[in-house]
Amino acid sequence: MRAPELTPDARIFVAGHRGLAGSALCRRLRAAGYENLVLAESSEVDLRARGATARFLADNAPAAIVLCAARGGGIAAEAAQPADFLSDNLRIQLSVLDAARALRVPRLLFLGSSRLYPRESRQPIRETSLLSGPLEPANHTYAIGKFAGMAQVRAVREQDGLPWITALPTNLYGPGDNFHPTDSHVLAGLMRRFHEAAQTGAESVAVWGTGTPRREFLHADDLADACITLLSHYDRAEPVNVGTGRDISIADLARMIADTVGYQGGITFDPSRPDGTPRRVLDIGVLTALGWAPRIRLRAGVASTYQWYLNSLALPRPRMAVRGHEVVR
């Protein structure tokens, strides 16, 4: 089985092109000369609907699909609506993967998640750690849905001989992120809260948990470059980690974001809120062996993401002082 070469005129369907990963991939594909992108607004086709999805793919006949579409959110959102998250993600995956299989789409990249790894994985986490122990309870339902998609990709490879592949990205951030006050992931959520605190002159900002868990953060543009590398050079059943190989504590991340937005008030931590997995950082040796490496350092990426946040939402810049209070270091 050999993956077909994607020429610049290849029709590539980016499922979920309005999301963080999908929008970054579209930017990178166009910059690399791929102009024949197949895109669909949710108002045009609901990817949870099998019939509509099958008709859309049959009409557009893509040579490759990158399945970025998924319902995602932070710990609070997933804990509050686990059945909704699982149902939506399973339906999206089944609709797209079954339709792609029926059409024998030559190339498909499924985006899983580093949250599929066990809570107590040895660090940095290698791909061989999958299914080696219990999942983090806060991620359990989301992870189970992604496991189903990953298993289907592998099954199609085995049964039909199609060179489909899976990537496991770490925590993403960047332009196009979701900055919802309760449904966002940690970096975007903190950025919004510190920005608003700087605007209002709040004396302190409370951060969920103890601040001690360590996480890895990957800029969406780096993920997009990794997707292009994998589509061009990878053809194995085993999923591939996509990350930076570097982690940071939530406490240090909060301070970095506070510095970036100009917030000078206090930072407190709320241990009554969940911490999640104690540490999660990926071994990216498989991907770097293909010639890829992350380019965007976290501090620079946070600064550019904050600038995008200000520009896209037309928000005023925060005041640079907050009544003389100092950041808790």
- For residue range 147-165, list pLDDT tens digits in order: 999 999 999 999 999 999 9
Establish whether 34 is a catalytic residue. Answer: no
Residue 169 labelled as part of a binding site = yes
Alpha-carbon gap, residue 198 to 162, rounded angstroms:
52
Token pair, residue 15, equals: 């499922």
175 is in an annotated binding site: no
Candidate from 71-75, 97-101, 112-116, 236-240 with smallest mean pLDDT: 71-75
Asked whether residue 108 carries a pLDDT value surpassing 50, the answer given is yes
Q: Which domain holds residue 156?
A: 12-313
- Does residue 325 belong to any structural domain of this protein? no
**pLDDT-based confidence at 73, cuts 50/70/90?**
low
**Does 140 belong to an annotated binding site?**
no
323 in a domain, yes or no? no
Does the residue 268 lie in any domain? yes
Residue type, 321: A
pLDDT tens per residue across span 117-158: 999 999 999 999 999 999 998 888 999 999 999 999 999 999
Exposed / middle / buried, residue 232 (Cβ in 10 Å: 0-12, 13-18, 19+): middle
Q: Nearest to residue 124, comparing CAs of 326, 262, 294, 281?
A: 281
* 292 has binding-site annotation: no
Within-domain flag for 79: yes
Q: Which of 34, 117, 142, 234 is catalytic?
A: 142
CA-nearest of 114, 116, 117, 109 to 156 is: 109
Question: Does 301 reside within a domain?
Answer: yes
Task: Please give the Cα distance from 272 to 107 (Å, whole number).
Answer: 46
User: Six-digit token pair at 191?
Assistant: 């950025």
Position 326 in a domain: no
CA 68 to chain CA centroid, Å, is: 8
Q: What percent of the chain stands above pLDDT 70?
A: 93
At 76, which CATH number?
A: 3.40.50.720
Residue 320 placed within a domain: no
Please count the structural domains in the chain.
1
> Is position 226 within any domain?
yes
